[in-house]
């Protein structure tokens, strides 16, 4: 592909990491930094000390605090803002976006007010612009250090997905494509919910047995809801499903797992969120997933118990007991129904 001009809106850990991937390919790009103090630090030290310390920012990365300047003249715009901010940011920047500019969302979450997927939120405001998502098992800290990583670019339009694939593909960053944008987004958002549960389990002092059960039954819940929303079952066996779930539930890079550990150790949600600059996406995702389960009449017991812990002050040990003592059932209900 010809050299594309890229705008990245959002200089958190993931937006910064993706900027380094493109910079190493010689891509011309602009990175919008919301916080003025961080912008000055990044310009002076060529490093994002707040969100991705220790990773050098190359000379191809032009830093700006002006959102309109960032997107002007670019072929592709990558939105890397927290999920709860996507709607507001799109509303603010939409007058400056041209119909021919491609849009990629890399945040993993849902819109809690409308229960829409983030690509839907973007398309509602920018109906003329092709929209894709980038998701998968990918800690920013590792991507910034050139650790081999694989992700998936999803879009209903194959050409758009392959455009994103070509844009990012490099020796340390492999990109697959998938037309199932619904499944990719649901997998990316809801794995954070299960990661909170895995962290709570760790915080309670439980072991690998417990975490394996949470992850395995967790992906069942995620797939159950995704399929009800129109996703393909096979997507949840891929990078944006079980792949992202594994990395988020098992790594200390995962802010959702870390938050869960603190909750399991007895801290309140307010204490946990007040102690980090990072956004814990799983909190709002839990709220959205719980409401979606009611909307689509999908049974999601793990999600429901995590919701009760986060928003109804339920006792975490009692929630574990509730899960263990649920009515007995088969592991794969849809298979058993065929007997």
Read off the pLDDT of residues 282-310 as tens digits, 9 standing for 90 and up.
999 999 999 999 999 999 999 999 999 99
CB 238, CB 178: distance < 8 Å: yes
CA pair distance 244, 221, nearest whole angstrom: 15
User: For the structural domain made of 5-179, what CATH number should be given?
Assistant: 3.40.50.720
Domain ranges of the chain: 5-179, 182-336
**Residue 90: partners with Cβ closer than 8 Å, 6 or more residues away:** 79, 121, 122, 125, 126
- pLDDT tens for each residue of 150-207: 999 999 999 999 999 999 999 999 999 999 999 999 999 999 999 999 999 999 999 9
Class of domain 182-336: mainly alpha
What is this structure's pTM?
A: 0.94
Nearest to 76 by CA among 134, 117, 35, 120: 134
**Residue 219 is inside which H or E element, if any?**
helix 208-228
Residue of 108, 191, 211, 284 marked catalytic: 191
Q: Can 191 be counted among the known catalytic residues?
A: yes
At 335 the pLDDT is: 40
Task: Return the DSSP state at 328.
Answer: P
Please name which of 160, 76, 86 lies closest in space to residue 125, comparing C-alpha atoms. Answer: 86
Measured distance CA(9)–CA(31) in Å, rounded: 6
Nearest in space to 134 (alpha carbons), one of 54, 43, 14, 272: 14
Ranges of residues in the chain with a pLDDT under 50 are 335-339
């Amino acid at each position: 592909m010809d050299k594309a001009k890229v705008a990245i809106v959002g200089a958190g850990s993931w937006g910064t990491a993706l900027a380094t991937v493109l910079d190493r390919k010689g891509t011309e790009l602009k990175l919008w930094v919301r916080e003025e103090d961080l912008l000055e630090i990044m310009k002076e030290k060529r490093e994002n000390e707040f969100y991705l310390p220790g990773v050098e920012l190359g000379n191809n990365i032009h830093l700006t605090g002006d959102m309109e300047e960032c997107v002007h003249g670019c072929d592709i715009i990558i939105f890397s803002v927290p999920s709860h901010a996507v709607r507001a940011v799109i509303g603010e920047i939409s007058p400056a976006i041209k119909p021919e500019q491609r849009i990629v969302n890399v945040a993993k979450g849902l819109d809690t007010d409308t229960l829409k997927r983030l690509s839907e939120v973007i398309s509602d405001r920018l109906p003329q612009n092709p929209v894709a998502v980038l998701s998968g098992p990918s800690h920013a800290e590792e991507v910034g250090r050139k650790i081999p990583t694989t992700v998936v670019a999803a879009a209903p339009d194959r050409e758009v997905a392959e455009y994103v694939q070509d844009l990012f593909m490099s020796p340390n960053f492999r990109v697959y494509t998938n037309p199932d944008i619904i499944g990719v987004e649901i997998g990316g958002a809801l794995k954070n919910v299960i990661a909170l549960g895995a962290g709570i389990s760790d915080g309670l002092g439980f072991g690998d047995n417990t975490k394996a059960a949470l992850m395995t039954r967790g992906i069942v819940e995620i797939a159950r809801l995704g399929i009800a929303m129109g996703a393909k079952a096979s997507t949840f066996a891929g990078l944006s499903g079980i792949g992202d779930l594994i990395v988020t539930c098992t790594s200390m890079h995962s802010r959702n797992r870390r938050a869960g550990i603190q909750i399991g150790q007895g801290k309140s949600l307010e204490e946990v969120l007040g102690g980090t600059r990072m956004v814990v996406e799983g909190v709002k995702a839990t709220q959205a997933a719980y409401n979606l389960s009611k909307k689509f009449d999908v049974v999601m017991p793990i999600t429901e118990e995590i919701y009760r812990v986060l928003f109804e002050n339920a006792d975490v040990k009692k929630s574990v007991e509730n899960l263990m003592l649920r009515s007995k059932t088969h592991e794969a209900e849809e298979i058993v129904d065929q007997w």
